[in-house]
Structure 1
């Protein structure tokens, strides 16, 4: 196992570390600790997770050497506001990856100009919880909530980074830090990520800084003003990805000018998004 560590700044801010040589799920461990009274802030980490958890109950597998990290915190806010911590974590994660491999944060050239003529960086954020590198997933985030003894809410922010390899047979493009020349370890990624989190959490500021978080997220958003298909519990929402609202819900504008606000779902771009199927607005209006 890599020697995981937190920086002096993270330690001074009260963050602690529980590192595992091998574990089924860092999120499951953090939730277990919360149920037993642990309030954090605590990072639970490993570079060998064999039964990881993904969104909507999916399993998440990764080869040894990738980073699985779960941050247990107890924000002094309601769970609705706490759910927006995922967007702060996305900013921290993209900041960390850009610091580790600066070439990943470089702007694309003329071929990467968007409809407004502005360049895009290679690192982009895909709503609600993925980090993409040139369109391929390199990292993801999963938020889960728990209650401490006495009923106080706790949040676990699970973060997975493809450090040495991308998972195979996942049905979407994926890449890794090693594939773009990064020779460091999962421990190196955590050290930078933990510091980037301090900055993002400071901006979020109990939810008061959410407008700034939203603005920074939109500056890195993948697929803005492009065709999108969002698979929700109620069907498929198709249209153009317009923005995220003040509550960080996805705003999809349809051809008839109406909009749908999506609070949860799986986002698809490209050919899947442009297939037209009648009556598939769905979602939350």
Structure 2
């Protein structure tokens, strides 16, 4: 992400930055992202046409691309799912995460968007280094026996991202939302959404047209724009 920010002002078009070793990985809200050798850490630099709200929906584009790239590498029978808002699960454990960062250009426009993606290809962090309540991490190799290098995985991920990006930019969020829901983890089941201010428990009904999580709770239907979700 740091290298993407350094390169972005000079770029005329999109570019992938692949790190073969990362020593300062981070996730949402500044959390540490551990990245042992052999895992995947890459950032795609884009110049989205819309404002911040439209750019935020690229997390769903990235999740779909990750899901399909992992399925292409490991085979369609491997149990994959997408966890709102930005994780991909394999056998119920977290195998990949997504982080979006942007730089403004004034008047609500963006100068660039960095889509950061981390995948546990070979190694998963030990449970004891995780924060309390965090989802158990898994690796692609550990769960399936499939070994793939970061460079080879990018050869799957790049075209998958381009395919869903073209769909989003041509037809809007609706087909992305439909495809995402078809791959969603715990859809129709009870989940817990935690923000810094409150905790909401309810049935995961859908995501709305802004990408917000929609829960059916005891207090009524709620749309939650940002939260950590627990199963």
Deviation at 1:60, TM superposition (A): 0.9
Counterpart in 2 of 1:76?
49
Runs of 4+ in structure 1 deviating by more than 4 angstroms, as ranges, are: 148-152
Q: In 2, distance between residues paired with 1:84 and 1:149?
A: 20
Q: Is the 8 A contact 2:102 2:110 kept in 1?
A: no
Q: Where does residue 223 of structure 2 map in the other structure?
A: 261
5 Å-filtered alignment, 1:1-285, equals 27-34=1-8, 36-102=9-75, 105-106=76-77, 122-147=79-104, 152-168=110-126, 169-170=129-130, 171-179=134-142, 180-205=144-169, 208-256=171-219, 258-269=220-231
TM-score computed with the length of structure 1 as normaliser: 0.75
Which has the larger share of strand? Answer: 2
Q: Secondary structure at 1:173's aligned position in 2?
A: coil
Give the Cα–Cα distance (whole angstroms) in 2 for the partners of residues 153 and 144 of structure 1.
11
Cα distance in 2 for partners of 1:91, 1:56 equals 22
Task: Name the counterpart of 1:280.
Answer: none
Structure 2's unaligned 5+ residue stretches are none
Residues 160-193 of structure 1 deviation map (CA, whole Å, 9 limit, x = unaligned) = 0101101123242111111111122111111110
- Aligned residues: CA RMSD: 1.8
Larger radius of gyration: 1
Instruction: Count matched residues.
Output: 224
Deviation at 1:38, TM superposition (A): 3.0
Aligned-pair CA distance for 1:152: 4.4
Task: Indicate conservation of the 8 Å contact 1:39/1:148, yes or no.
Answer: no
Task: Measure, in 2, the Cα distance between the counterparts of 1:165 and 1:70.
Answer: 20
